[in-house]
Amino acid sequence: MSLLDLAPVIPVVVIDDVETAVPLARALVAGGLPVIEVTLRTADALEAIARIVAEVPEAVVGAGTIRTSDDIAACLVAGAKFLVSPGTTLSLADAMAASGLPYLPGAATATEVMALAERGLKELKFFPAEPAGGIPYLKALAGPLPDVRFCPTGGIRPATAPDYLALPNVGCVGGTWLTPADALAAGDWGRVEKLAAEAAALR
């Protein structure tokens, strides 16, 4: 099954303290969002992925902010189940393909989408969704490129997520709103679970 069809929302998480990784993943799974993208933006990210893989088998944990083949090698060691990149150079596309993992390469323009579609890649991350043009832009892409589907992320909030999900070329959306930094710092897993449950009910 496609990564885009596993859940309506992929939480994009930034883990500053590895001790929060497992309870955070458990709260998201309990709320109904088992697909989790841990961004490689913090020193603890790879260890967080490894711990979630080991201790929360119901989660499908992948790595975001993939920029290099070294990132991919480290994610394979950590046990990541999928890869997501904010944008995609052709060498990164090759490295993601060689990983053997499912992946969502990032794109933001018609030319970038076409370059990836030429390689047979038709399930992409649309990033940064809101600054790049948001819903009107995705609607416009669906005209000439109707066979390409997206996971938009970047600036999406609970109020706008349903309108994105209603687009025929959107499979799911991603965002950080499910895991507010203050909730993570306070260990408020009930709040995370509630936000996840609200998002899981979007479709």
Residues serving a catalytic function are 37, 125
- Rule CB under 6 A: say whether 174 interacts with ligand 3PG: yes
- Rule CB under 6 A: say whether 175 interacts with ligand 3PG: yes
- Closer by beta carbon to ligand 3PG, 98 or else 138: 138
Tell which one of 85, 88, 99, 153 touches ligand 3PG (CB under 6 A).
Answer: 153
- Rule CB under 6 A: say whether 176 interacts with ligand 3PG: yes
Query: In sequence order, what are the beta bridge partners of 107?
Result: 126
Among residue numbers 183 through 202, which ones bind ligand 3PG (CB under 6 A)? Answer: none
Stretch that binds ligand 3PG, among 66-74, 133-141, 172-180, 189-197 (CB under 6 A): 172-180
Long-range CB contacts (within 8 A, 24+) of 128-131: 128/86, 128/153, 128/154, 128/155, 129/153, 129/154, 129/155, 129/156, 129/164, 129/173, 130/154, 130/155, 130/156, 130/160, 131/155
Assess contact for 53 and 82: CB atoms under 8 A. no
- Rule CB under 6 A: say whether 62 interacts with ligand 3PG: no
Stretch that binds ligand 3PG, among 95-103, 108-116, 149-157, 181-189 (CB under 6 A): 149-157
- Closer by beta carbon to ligand 3PG, 118 or else 180: 180
- Rule CB under 6 A: say whether 106 interacts with ligand 3PG: no
Asked, as a colleague might, if the bond just before 57 is cis with ω within 30 of 0, I would say: no
Assess contact for 104 and 82: CB atoms under 8 A. yes
Which residues contribute to the site for ligand 3PG (CB under 6 A)?
Answer: 12, 39, 64, 127, 153-156, 174-177
